[in-house]
Amino acid sequence: MKSREPLNLPRFGLAGKATAIGSLPHRDPGAARRAVLAHLREVPAWPQLPRRSFLENMYVQFSEGFPGLVLEGERVYVERRAPLDAPLEALYQAYLDGRGDAYPISADYAAGLHLFLQEKPGSALAMKGQVVGPVSWGLAVMDGDGRPVLYDDVLADAVARFLRLKASWEEAELRKLARSTIIFVDEPSFASLGSAFVSVEKEKARALLEEVLGGIRGLKGVHCCGNTDWSLILTSSTDILNLDAYEHAQSLCLYPQEIRAFLKKGGVIAWGIVPTQEAALAGETAASLFDRLEEAIEMTADKGFLHRDLVERSMVTPACGLTSVSEEAAEHALELLSGVSKRLQQKYNLG
C-alpha cells in the first residue's frame, strides 16, 4: 500500500451533502418539486420530467433555438440544407456578447425548472441545475441525412457555444434562488469515447466540454454514468466529478495521479451511490449504501490518500437519472440518498 500523505485541503462547504442528477419519472411538476424538497433541501436539483413531455427529453430540452433544428413528432434533427448562415451568425454574436438570455429554456421544455423559479425553495445552500453535454447532444441529434451533428465541425462548434449560453442563462436564473449554484454538464456518451461506435478524438471531446464549462461562473460538475477515461474529466476545469459509484467506483482508482491533482486544486467527487434500477433499489437500505460508499472511498484512499481528505471532498448522488423507475421507487431513491448523506455528515462531523 502506498503511504498516505495529507492534502492539507480546507473543508468544502458542501461536503457530505446530497443532490440529484436531474430526471424524475413524475408527470406533475408540483409532485416532482415536493419530492425533491422533501429529501434534498440543502442542495435541491430542479427536476427534468421526460414522461411529462417529449420536450423534456434531455436532448430536446436544451435544443430550443438551435439553428436549423426541426421537431417532428418525437424526432429531433438539424436540417443542414436550411439557410443556416443568419441563425449561426446570431448564435455567434450572442456568444461573443455573453448573452445567455438570447437562448433561454422555456416552461414548455422545463416545467420543473420554471416551477422552482416561481416558488423559491427556502434556505437552500445551493441550487443545482444541469445541461446536456456537447458530445452527448452532438451524437444523439442527427442532421437530415441521419449523421450525428458532432461529425460536422461547423455544427459541433456551434453546439458547444449554444449549450454554453444555455448553461449561462440557467445559472443566472438559479442564482435568484440561492447564493451558490452548481451546474452539471451531463456527458453519458463519454462512456463510448474510444469505442468502435464513436469516432471522436478525446482532445476534441475535451475542447467541446471546456467550451461549455467556460460559461459557468459558479461550481461546475461533469456527470458520466458509465465507465470512461476519468482522466479526461479529472484534468478538465470542472469542480465536481460525478460518477456511478454503485457500479464503477473501482474504475476511478486507476487514476491516482489525476485524482491527487484534482483534489489539490479543490475538486470534489460526487459519488453516485444510489442505484437507479427498481430491483436494486428494493434490495438496499441507507445503511447498506453507506457501507458501499465507505468501501468506495477506502478503495480510493488505498491509492495514497487520507480517508478524511476524500470524505471532505465528497458529495453523494444517485448513480444517474431516475426516469426509468416508478414514482414511488424514485422517491424511495431520494429517501435513501438523504439517509446516506446524513450518515456521512454525522459520522465525520461535516456539518
- pLDDT tens digits for range 179-211: 899 999 999 999 988 777 788 889 999 999 999
User: Which residues on neighbouring strands pair with residue 127, listed in sequence order?
Assistant: 181
**pTM for the whole structure:** 0.94
Domain extent listing, the chain? 1-21+225-351, 29-220
Q: Are 39 and 334 in contact (CB under 8 A)?
A: yes
Average pLDDT, the chain: 93
* CATH class of segment(s) 1-21+225-351: alpha beta
Higher per-residue pLDDT: 198 or 329: 329
The residue to which cell 450518515 is assigned = 343
pLDDT score recorded for residue 5: 44
Distances (CA, A) of 284 to 41, 322, 331: 23, 16, 14
- pLDDT tens digits for range 227-277: 999 999 999 999 999 999 999 999 999 999 999 999 989 999 999 999 999
Taking the CA atoms of residue 201, residue 207, residue 209 and residue 214 in that order, the dihedral angle to the nearest 10 degrees is 180
User: Which residues on neighbouring strands pair with residue 270, listed in sequence order?
Assistant: 242, 315
pLDDT score recorded for residue 178: 92
> pLDDT-based confidence at 305, cuts 50/70/90?
confident
- pLDDT tens digits for range 68-108: 999 999 999 999 888 999 999 999 999 999 999 999 999 99
Distances (CA, A) of 25 to 50, 119, 143, 155: 7, 21, 29, 32
